[in-house]
Amino acid sequence: MSEVPEDPSEEPEFPVLGDEKAAAFFDLDNTVMQGAALFHFGRGLYKRKFFETRDLARFAWQQAWFRLAGVEDPEHMQDARDSALSIVKGHRVSELMSIGEEIYDEYMAERIWPGTRALAQAHLDAGQKVWLVTAAPVEIAQVIARRLGLTGALGTVAESVDGVYTGKLVGEPLHGPAKAEALRALAAAEELDLSRCAAYSDSHNDIPMLSLVGHPYAINPDSKLRKHARKLDWRLRDYRTGRKAAKVGIPAAAGVGAVAGGTAAAIALHRRRR
């Protein structure tokens, strides 16, 4: 097991050349990107006055509690998700998609971890496919994957009919065991051998996903994942300079207004045609 500082030129510690049955799967928040993609996307939406403060007040503290506590209570998460979906209900998908690339440039590009990006690039250079697998909205994930030159992305899907959000999810959030099942299904569709694949994550919630592959990596791990990785002799990488800020997924100087913006973006941007 190794735990090393960030190196933009680093490569995986296992052979990646010439293996068409192998691929790599990366979690997004605090693995590929410092902080939460939803938070950064929400800042962009809030800046553009897509949401009004009065609409955010009723659940801003839910998001603040979740981020600062670093605890994923199912009931609390459900409340925050329902609030976010109710805010976008009736809005057009195109309203958000048209500014997604701009928000990436404004808030996300500079927060990509160079070390993790180098790991992803090593897989790409070896001819392997590389996917983001995240609980973030699928179309946000797709924008990020495209900008990083990755193969594609799996993410949480929100329902829309005729280009308008219904306020419902399609299925469940891509989180925990659901993320592992999505990875398993993708591997089957791509005819991959998971024992020859790699997966990367910062969160103990992704232990089911990491356990599926032959080459699991703990990137910027939380305490539970760090303990689990050490026990199983998984590889570790820690690119953080400020452990606390990385853990909660919010820039240290962020205020409640910005947190509210992040909560407002807790939606999945995916159209469901009928």
Q: Contact at 8 Å (CB) between 272 and 94?
A: no
Q: Which of 19, 29, 125, 233 is catalytic?
A: 29
* CB-neighbour burial class of residue 31 (10 A; exposed 0-12, middle 13-18, buried 19+): buried
Q: How far apart are CA 180 and CA 242, in angstroms?
A: 29
DSSP one-letter code for 242: S
Q: How far apart are CA 249 and CA 70, in angstroms?
A: 9
Q: Which of 27, 202, 222, 238 is catalytic?
A: 27
Q: How many CB atoms lie within 10 A of CB 261?
A: 26
Known catalytic residue: 27? yes
Q: How far apart are CA 114 and CA 263, in angstroms?
A: 26
Query: What sign does the CA torsion over 213, 214, 220, 222 have?
Result: positive
Scan for tokens 């996903």, then name that residue: 209
Q: What is the dihedral of CA 99, 52, 266, 272, to 10 degrees?
A: -60
Say whether 121 sits in a helix, a strand or coil.
Answer: helix
Say whether 243 sits in a helix, a strand or coil.
Answer: helix
Q: How far apart are CA 199 and CA 234, in angstroms?
A: 11
Alpha-helical regions (H) of 24-176: 37-47, 53-69, 74-88, 93-103, 114-125, 138-148
Q: Which residues are catalytic?
A: 27, 29
